[in-house]
Amino acid sequence: MELWLIKIAVPVLFVLLSFILYDAVFRNRKEKTTKTNDKEMCIIPRCGRETGYRKDTPVNKRNHYVRGAGQLCDKCGNEFLLDEYRKRKNALESAFG
Ligand SMILES: [Zn+2]
């Protein structure tokens, strides 16, 4: 009686355990790849850090997105805006003042 139970229970447990392990490993690997591949990277070559935006984020819900170029990270985006501001300020000042 007991031997019969062990003969059934051990393979069943083994199969269940291997299913659980396989599922955990597979799910973990899938999450890892989607996490790294779906993040948009900064387009500035000397920067190249993660922007924090996923690739499927709509363009109108992002900051520092440049049409035709791509996504800037917060740091480069702020630098870019400051640059643009200075350029326009200088142009206005040289035109009127
Ligand atoms: Zn950047």
Rounded Cα–Cα distance for residues 71 and 73 (Å): 7
Strands of 9-90, DSSP E: 39-41, 50-54, 65-66, 70-71
The mean per-residue pLDDT over the stretch 32-43 comes to 73
Q: What is the pLDDT of residue 3?
A: 83
**From the CA of 47, how far away is ligand 1's center (Å)?**
5
**From the CA of 30, how far away is ligand 1's center (Å)?**
27
Q: What is the pLDDT of residue 4?
A: 83
- Helix (H/G/I), strand (E/B), else coil: 49: coil
Return the structure tokens found at 64. 């520092």
**From the CA of 82, how far away is ligand 1's center (Å)?**
14
**From the CA of 38, how far away is ligand 1's center (Å)?**
17
Rounded Cα–Cα distance for residues 76 and 16 (Å): 51
Condensed to tens digits (0 to 9), the pLDDT of residues 65-84 reads 988 999 999 999 999 889 99
**From the CA of 67, how far away is ligand 1's center (Å)?**
16
Q: What is the pLDDT of residue 29?
A: 72
pLDDT for residue 51 is more than 90 = yes
Q: What is the pLDDT of residue 6?
A: 83
pLDDT for residue 33 is more than 60 = no
Condensed to tens digits (0 to 9), the pLDDT of residues 2-31 reads 788 888 888 899 999 998 888 888 877 766
